[in-house]
Amino acid sequence: MNYNNPARTQAVILDWAGTVVDFGSFAPTQIFVEAFAEFDVQVSIEEARGPMGMGKWEHIRTLCDQPGISARYAQAFGRAPTDEDVTAIYDRFMPLQIEKIARHSALIPGALETIGQLRTQGLKIGSCSGYPAVVMAKVVELARQNGYVADHVVATDEVPNGRPYPAQALANVIALGISDVASCVKVDDTVPGILEGRRAGMWTVALVCSGNALGLTHEEYQAMDAQQLAGERVRIHGMFAGSRPHYLIDTLNDLPPVIADIDRRLAAGEMPQGS
C-alpha cells in the first residue's frame, strides 16, 4: 500500500462556546468571576478571559498563577493559592456553571444554516470543548433543543490532557472514522484551541469576532463601526499569531469559502503541516 495525500476535506471539528453557541463566550467567563468572588477574590472579566480554551481546572490554576490574582488571594487567605485551593474554586465553579449555562446557550446566528451547508458537502461534524463532561451534557442538550446535533462530542475530562494538547481533536478523528488528520479542519475562538488543531496535524481556522477574543454580544458586534472593527481585527490577529492558524475569519458563517480553499490546496498536494 502507498500513502496518498487526502484529496478533500472529510470533517470539521468545532469548538462550542464562541464558535457554535454563546456569541462572545460569556458563559464560562462570567462564572469564573462569580466563583472567585465567593472566595472574596476579585477577578475581572478581562482576566477571566485570558486562558480561555483550556480545561476549567487548568484555567483556574492559570488564573491563580497570575501575580495580581495571586496577590489578591494572599491578601484574603495569607498565602498564595495551592492546588487544593484551585480545586476548591473549581468545585464551586462547577455547580454555578451547570446552573447558569442555559443563560448563554443560544446558537450563534447563522451557525445552524452554515453547519447544514457543510453537511450537504459530505462533511462530518466533530466537536470538543474546554467544558467537562457534566457541563457538556447540558450544553449538548440545549443545543439539540435548538436544532444542532454534532456527530461526536469530546469533553476536556474525557481525554488524558485537554487543550492545547491534541487529544480531543484526535479523539474525534478516531470516533468519526477519518482516514487522515490532514483532511480535518479545527475551528476555534481561542489560542489553546488553535494549538490543539495544529498539534493534531489539522487545518486550523481562528474565529475573530464571535468568541472570547472580541468578547462582545452579537448586538454589540453588529453595532461596531467599520474603523473600530478593523482595529479589533488587527489586535486579535496579533493575539493569534503565535498559534499560527491557517485562516482567520469573523464567524463560523465565513467557513464554507475556507473549506473550498482547503479542498483546492489538498487537491494541489498541499498539507496543513507544510504551512
Distance CA 22, CA 18 (A): 5
The widest CA-to-CA distance across the chain, in whole angstroms, is: 64
Spatial neighbors of 163 by CB under 8 A, at least 6 apart, are 53, 54, 55, 130, 156, 190, 192, 193, 195, 196
Closest CA to 233 of 248, 223, 246: 248
Spatial neighbors of 79 by CB under 8 A, at least 6 apart, are 73
261 an active-site residue?
no
Q: Which of 56, 85, 189, 254 is catalytic?
A: 56
56 an active-site residue?
yes
Q: In this structure, which amino acid lies at residue 261?
A: D
Task: Give me the residue label for grid cell 488543531.
Answer: 197
Give the β-pairing of 152-154 and 124-128: parallel
The three cell numbers of residue 195 are 494549538
DSSP H helical segments within the chain, as ranges?
26-37, 45-49, 56-65, 67-77, 83-100, 111-120, 133-145, 167-176, 191-199, 218-223, 226-240, 255-267
Q: Which of 15, 85, 188, 254 is catalytic?
A: 15
Sheet holding 184-188, edge to edge: 152-154, 124-128, 11-14, 184-188, 203-207, 247-249
Does the bond joining 164 to the residue before it have cis omega, within 30 degrees of 0?
yes
Cite the active site residues: 15, 56
